[in-house]
Chain A
Amino acid sequence: MHIMEGFLPHPWWEIWFLLSLPVVAFGVYKMNRMIMESRETLPLLAVAGAFVFVLSSLKLPSVTGSCSHPTGTGMGTIIFGPWITSVLAVIVLVYQAVFLAHGGLTTLGANTFSMGIAGPAVGYLVYKAATKVGLHLYLAVFLAATLADWATYLVTSVQLALAFPATFGGVLASFEAFAAIFAITQIPLAIVEGMVTALMFKYIVQLRSDVLVRMNVVSQNTIKKLKEALT
């Protein structure tokens, strides 16, 4: 859900830049500290960023609408947390704008806020809450990825509504209109992405569960239980 270049008018694109900047700056700070602690994080972050980009350039199967590709930020936030995901998201968004013509440069701030900050934050909180309550890991992953996508799409609708309030009914009416139009593609799309992310976790648990344990995503105990369930 990218806002295209030139679509946000004068005060708004600057405002979203200002709002995103501190979060991304803190993300850079966190990332620098992580790199200092263990040097091997930078290459891993790099491949994760490239992975998010490639994921977002693939077309999801069987969804209506033209631009149906996964965001991949749900995956990033579960593994690296929301702060570092925001840094990855900025870089990936620039590449998407320059390589694939998704999004733009003046709308980079707004897109970062919706895709790199709001979505991952919601996804992270949902994942933490779901695992704390004791939901099944795959269900938690599904919920996190799906809700992260919905948060992204709702924030995008809010951004467009704030910039273009309706004459009758103001921001709220405009928000409803944008949200309703985008819902047609975004609601099924998010569910598909949630399912794909959950299935991905299933394969990763089967093949390289040590990666997840090392990044503190799941505990050794959960992995053991999941593997027992498989056999």
Chain B
Amino acid sequence: MHNLLDDYAISNALRETSARLKLFLGLWAILLSVSSTTPIAPLFLAITMSLITVMLAKIPGRIYSRLLLVPLSFALLSAGVVAFMHGSGQTLFSLQLFGLNLAIREEGANLAVLLIARTFGGMCSLYFIALTTPMIEIFAVLKTLHIPQSVIELSMMIYRYIFVFLDQAAMIHSAQMMRLGDAGTKNSLNSFAMLCSVLFLRSWEQGERLIVAMDSRCYDGKLDLMEPAKGAKPLAILAVAAYLAAATAIAVLTRGVILL
């Protein structure tokens, strides 16, 4: 049941690189692809970020390609709406549907392509962060960014309990499957509701036990984490800087190019 991206992050080949550097690289790439005005820079970022994730971080290619399908349905659906609703210029494509005249025009098509490119550029950069930086290291960085203590505390506890509940949900689910809990719509709805409520009650009881456990260990509203002092290597900083400079240059230089 566990197939969270965090599982790969813990054992990826770039694990030892400084978390700050990886976050900086990922966030810069995300901002760059969302603010670019042509599809070229986002596509460049999508391809290079994917290569970095698969080749350098050694994330299995099969898993990565399956991940790329996640944003596809949303991107195509919404970009489709934009393409039909937007634009002037020459009509590229039109059809009659239920008496409505639907047409894709130049501007709309360009915008749709740009949106799909941006989504993929952004998602590939997000995958880079998600697949190379474990959450624990992100918490350590967040602590230095003046995020309210209670929020970080809450996030850390949520993070801990996600895994506990995922396992429980998987166990309950397979128990229900074995007893034909998924036979028919009514049964499967009922089973699903039962799963959710049992999960809720178990998590509530777990929370009550957690209070006792933490109280007996003198919890005072702060869990301290040891952040292993991993400085970035000069070579890594240089490589990231060169890569980001190149990507930014591509975005700036191609800002006036029109594809269609």
Interface residues, chain A, with chain B CB atoms under 8 Å away: 2-10, 13, 28, 31-32, 35, 39-40, 42-51, 53-55, 57-58, 60-62, 66-67, 75, 87-88, 91-92, 94-95, 97-102, 104-106, 160, 164, 166-167, 169, 173-174, 177-178, 181, 192, 195-196, 199-204, 207-208, 211
What's the least CB distance linking B164 to chain A, in Å? Answer: 8
B71 within 8 A of A: yes
Q: Tell me if A53 and B5 are in contact (CB < 8 A).
A: no
Q: B13-21, B152-160, B250-258: which lies at the A interface?
A: B152-160
Contact of B198 among A5, A9, A203 (CB under 8 A): A203
- Quick one: closest A residue to B79, CB to CB? A7
- Given contacts A61-B189, A192-B189, A204-B200, whether A28 and B81 have CB atoms under 8 Å apart is no
Q: Tell me if A13 and B85 are in contact (CB < 8 A).
A: no
Count contacts between A and B, CB distance < 8 Å: 241
Q: Tell me if A6 and B81 are in contact (CB < 8 A).
A: no
What's the least CB distance linking A67 to chain B, in Å? Answer: 7
Q: Tell me if A101 and B4 are in contact (CB < 8 A).
A: no
CB-CB contacts of B181-220 with A at 8 A, as 1s and 0s? 0100100111111111111110110111011001100000
Interface residues, chain B, with chain A CB atoms under 8 Å away: 4-6, 27, 30-31, 33-35, 42, 67, 70-71, 73-75, 77-78, 80-82, 84-88, 107-108, 111, 115, 118-123, 125-127, 129-130, 135, 138, 148, 150-151, 153-155, 157-162, 164-166, 169, 182, 185, 188-201, 203-204, 206-208, 210-211, 214-215, 221
B-side contacts of A105, CB under 8 Å = 27, 30, 126
A-side contacts of B215, CB under 8 Å = 39
Q: Tell me if A99 and B4 are in contact (CB < 8 A).
A: yes
Scoring A13, A35, A62, A169 by chain B CB atoms within 10 A of each residue's CB, the highest score goes to A62
B-side contacts of A6, CB under 8 Å = 30, 33-34, 42, 115, 118-123
Chain A at the B interface: SS class:
helix
Q: Tell me if A104 and B185 are in contact (CB < 8 A).
A: no
Contact of B122 among A5, A60, A66, A196 (CB under 8 A): A5
Scoring B85, B122, B127, B201 by chain A CB atoms within 10 A of each residue's CB, the highest score goes to B85
What's the least CB distance linking A93 to chain B, in Å? Answer: 11
- Given contacts A61-B182, A99-B5, whether A166 and B86 have CB atoms under 8 Å apart is yes
B-side contacts of A47, CB under 8 Å = 157, 161, 203-204, 206-207, 210
- Given contacts A95-B159, A192-B189, A199-B197, whether A50 and B73 have CB atoms under 8 Å apart is no
